Structure 1
């Protein structure tokens, strides 16, 4: 299957933003753009990943949107089920609340909060056991890229995932490549560099599972309305994991529109 035959995804990762009133206004503005010029789920799957305390209010606010906009959790617990685990939100609690998708392995979780391979794989197992779909993040640091280790690092992260995913479960996985040096810095890998890494990821996935040919691989790293069209034109870039630009409804809509138009 060619990259253009894979339905693109554009996911807005709000991170630890914004305040509740701003969140409500952001969703209202996004709904207005989608009402004026709808982007169907066949053209592009659109999703937002709010903070944990905003997940359910955002989900509720999106119920009457002109098109289906998914709500994604930014993280989940390494502990399954329920119990005496203060501050944790399990895969089962997310599923029970109607949340069907979750980010796992984001570089900020890896670097700032100590999510090592063991923790990440436990989260993956819990998510898949609860029948959640995961957006699994991979990426290299600037030091790793400059030392020629970028491909090795990223493919190892893919192999870490493969160790805990059964063949049938690969249909519940989306991969997001995010060069760490391009997150929140304003720097972006050139479309050619991003495409080269995405092609390597695609090749690696195809060696691990027959589903590797049809899986969406998203690019994350200072994606903006201004560079979305060039990124969307790359055959192995099947969407975007959007950071700062997702906090502006117009920019986020324009990114989704770019992928919907280029990939149609």
Structure 2
């Protein structure tokens, strides 16, 4: 069961959205929503992950609010150098970005981020002092074959060897069943809780910090299902896709976790 000391996280992954004018409106709306009935940082952490070209602008516009800015990805190459198109963990850190998604299924499936590539990204991010939101999840085929838990736990084990004992406090896990991302389908709260409990068990076998690591659920999270998901003991927040592009919907999801946990 999730430890009572875990503060939930609700992170909006904007993916390759929106256009600049819409992003500015979204940020304005977010600030307005979160200022009306403020959610304390002690009840829920909140973040948004914009496209890389908007990171610093979004960070600047959100300065002074409770909303953190999260990078959607990081280079497998560390430091500086002749690597056209790459953004290293050191560059993110130097720009004041403290959080990064690594291992999202779209990066794994569309852009061929193998387990080795993901490990390099995690290692670089941790070395630069970033907090990693590490994404895991199974495909529909893997679930139907009964391999879901094996696949997800292997993804956890993939990074175990490169996360030093004291660095686990810089890891957040985001479980996203691939078949539920952007499809409108959502794992039932019972199924999600079962997987989160298995992840918690697996983490606890790897590190003493296992009971303290936040495990987020992602996959068509909406205001309509957020309260039920938040009530599950091992679901410590949400990685939100489409619903994060609507300020009111995103705020309601954050409120659900802030009030329930």
Closer/same/farther in 2, CA of residues 147 and 112 from structure 1, 3 Å limit: same
Aligned pairs, number: 261
**1:75 and 2:73 aligned:** yes
Runs of 4+ off more than 2 Å = 1-5
Deviation string, structure 1 residues 167-194 (Cα, Å, up to 9, x no partner):
1110000000000000000000000000
Query: In angstroms, what is the RMSD of aligned CA positions?
Result: 0.8
1:155 matched residue in structure 2: 153
Superposed, which structure 2 residues align to 1:82-231 within 5 Å?
82-231=80-229
User: What is the CA-CA distance between 1:157 and the residue it aligns to?
Assistant: 0.3
User: What is the CA-CA distance between 1:64 and the residue it aligns to?
Assistant: 3.2
Deviation string, structure 1 residues 49-81 (Cα, Å, up to 9, x no partner):
00001100000000133xx21100000101011
**1:27 and 2:27 aligned:** yes
**Any unmatched runs of 5+ in structure 2?**
none
1:62 matched residue in structure 2: 62
User: What is the CA-CA distance between 1:34 and the residue it aligns to?
Assistant: 1.0
User: What is the CA-CA distance between 1:5 and the residue it aligns to?
Assistant: 3.5
Contact 1:3 1:238 in 2 (8 A): no
Give the TM-score of the pair, scaled to structure 1.
Answer: 0.98
2:246 matched residue in structure 1: 248
Residue 63 of structure 1 aligns to a residue in which SS?
coil
For residues 20 and 64 of structure 1, the distance between their equivalents in structure 2, rounded to whole angstroms, comes to 21
Deviates more, 1:20-29 or 1:146-155: 20-29
Give the TM-score of the pair, scaled to structure 2.
Answer: 0.99
Residue 163 of structure 2 aligns to a residue in which SS?
coil
1:8 matched residue in structure 2: 8
